[in-house]
Structure 1
Amino acid sequence: MFIINLTYKAPLKKIDQFLEAHIQFLNKQYTDGFFLTSGRKEPRNGGIILCKAKNKDNVEQIIKLDPFKINNLADYEVIEFTPTKTNEKLKFLIEH
């Protein structure tokens, strides 16, 4: 499991120009089964994505498809973790 922490490095006006393309990117990753949840940080200086992928290299390949990455609008921090405890609704996140 991975947390992708995006931090914008461009003004929000520039981010908003690519927001629809970014949303399309997100939608594809949800359809492909990689992304589990995502959203804006508050204050709006980036976003967080919870990603289920085989390994960090796989996550890096996915990130390369993001219009925010392609257009050098955000920095990305990838944090790998192993869920070991969750509530009943999220039990599917725990590796067996």
Structure 2
Amino acid sequence: MFILELTYTAPLERVDALLPAHLSWLEQHYANGTFLASGRKVPRDGGIILAVAPDRPAVEALAATDPFVPAGIAAYRITEFVATTTAPALAAHRETLPV
């Protein structure tokens, strides 16, 4: 599982101008099951996405397709973790530690 942390690198006016494209991108990845949760950080200097992907290169490639990235509006920090304990709603994404 991955935590994708977006940090805005441009003024909020530029972020807001591309927000519809970013939201459409989010919806696409919710529909295909990659994204599990997302939202703005408080204070509003970026956002967080909880995602599942086969491996780190796949999630890095995915993050690069966020319309914010080629526009130079946000940068991503990606953290991979092994979700060994989850809420019942996320049981399908529960993992076991490697041996």
Q: Which of the two has greater helix per residue? A: 1
Structure 1 residue aligned with 2:78: 78
Q: Distance in 1 between matches of 2:10 and 2:52?
A: 27
Tell me the TM-score normalized by structure 1: 0.94
Cα deviation code 1:11-68 (max 9, x no counterpart): 0001000000000000111112111110000000000000100001000111121110
In the TM superposition, residue 92 of structure 1 has moved relative to its aligned partner by 1.8
Q: Secondary structure at the match of 2:75?
A: strand
Report the aligned-residue RMSD.
1.0
The equivalences for 1:8-87 within 5 A come to 8-87=8-87
Q: Give the % identical residues.
A: 45
Tell me the TM-score normalized by structure 2: 0.92
Which blocks of at least 5 consecutive residues in structure 1 are unaligned?
none
Q: Distance in 2 between matches of 1:91 and 1:32?
A: 18
Q: Distance in 1 between matches of 2:86 and 2:35?
A: 18
The number of aligned residues is: 96
Which blocks of at least 5 consecutive residues in structure 2 are unaligned?
none
Q: Any runs of at least 4 consecutive aligned residues in structure 1 with deviations exceeding 6 A, and if so which?
A: none
Aligned-partner residue type, residue 26 of structure 2: L
